[in-house]
Amino acid sequence: MNLLDGKFIAQEMYTKLQSDAAELKNKGIQPKLVIILVGDHPASLSYIKSKEKASQTVGVECEIMKFGADEMDTAKLIEVIRGLNEDDSVHGILVQLPLPKHIYEPDIIKAVAPQKDVDGFTAYNLGKMFLSTRFEDLAPCTPLGIIKMLEHAKIDVEGKEAVIVGRSNIVGKPVAIMLLNRGATVTACHSKTVDLSAHTKRADILVVAVGKAGLITADMVKEGAVVVDVGINRTEDGKLVGDCDFVTVSKKASFITPVPGGCGPMTVACLMNNVIKAVHKQNPSLS
C-alpha cells in the first residue's frame, strides 16, 4: 500500500504559490480572499481556520466576515456578496457551507461573480468544468485536489472503473465529471443505491465522500484499488477518521489517502491555487 500523501503534495504547491504571490506583490497587487461564515457550524469553524492559516503561508490576505445566523437572511447576504463583487481589492469570495436553513444556498452561490468564485461552485465555472478538461478554470477544490493527487502518483484514470460514493455538488458530482472527462468509466453511488458493495467492489478507483465513519469496509474493496477517502468524521474519543476503515482497507488498496492528511490539505492548497488564478483573471495584463 502507498499513501496518497496530500499533506506533502500540498506543501509542494505552497512553495510555488508563495513565489506566485510574492511576484504579484512586487507588481503592486496583494491577493485577497474573503471568507463569509454565517452561524457557528463547528466543522466550518475548523475548516476556516485551515484556510486562514494557508492564506498566511502563501501570502494571501484573508478577511473573515462572520455573521450570526439570526442577523442574516438571503437578501442581506446577497447584498454583502454584491459589495465584494464590486470591490477591486477582493480577488476571491468564499461562502462557507452549509448555510443556516433559512438562507437559500443556490441564490447565494449564484450571487458570487464567476471570476471571484474560488470555490468553483457557480453554474458558470461548473459548466466550464462539465464541458471539457480544456475549459476547466476555477474548478471545485476537493475534486481538483483529488485529480492532482492521482496525477502526482502517476495514476492514469483513462479506461479505469471509477466508483464515486456520494453525490454532493461540492465533491461527488464534480469529481464524477472530472474523472469522466479524463476517460474513466464512472459510476455514481448515493444513499438510494440498492447494493453499494456490488459497485464499490468493481472499482479500480474508489472515491468516498459521504461523511459516515466505517461506511467502507475491506470486503467492499477490490484488491489493488486506489482509494480516495474524502470523509472527515470525529469519533467519540475525538479522533479524526474518514469514511473507510483505514486499517483493513489499506491492506487491500494499492494507494490510499490518509485521514487526516489526504484530501483535506489538498482542498485548501487548491483553494489557494484558485485565489492566485483569480488574481490573474482579474488582471489580464499580468500574464
Binding site for ligand GUN (CB under 6 A): 94-97, 119, 141-142, 170, 267
State the Cα angle at 125 between 266 and 40, rounded to 5°: 55
Least distance from C-beta 50 to ligand GUN, angstroms? 11
Least distance from C-beta 96 to ligand GUN, angstroms? 5
Between helix 123-131 and helix 172-181 the angle, nearest 10°, is 30
- Size of the chain in residues: 287
Which lies closer to ligand GUN via its Cβ, residue 78 or residue 218?
A: 78
Which lies closer to ligand GUN via its Cβ, residue 31 or residue 143?
A: 143
Q: In whole angstroms, how far apart are CA 64 and each of 56, 135, 150, 221, 242?
A: 13, 30, 32, 41, 28
Residues annotated as catalytic (active site), given as ranges: 51, 96, 119
Task: Cell 470525529: give the residue.
Answer: 234
Which lies closer to ligand GUN via its Cβ, residue 41 or residue 280?
A: 41
Q: In the bound complex, which residue of the shown chain has the CB atom lying closest to ligand GUN?
A: 97
Q: What is the C-alpha separation between 216 and 203, in angstroms, rounded?
A: 12
Which lies closer to ligand GUN via its Cβ, residue 119 or residue 245?
A: 119
Least distance from C-beta 67 to ligand GUN, angstroms? 15
Q: Omega of the bond prior to 258 within 30 degrees of 0, cis?
A: no
Give the bridge partners for 36, in sequence order. Answer: 65, 95
State the Cα angle at 124 between 121 and 127, rounded to 5°: 90
Least distance from C-beta 243 to ligand GUN, angstroms? 15
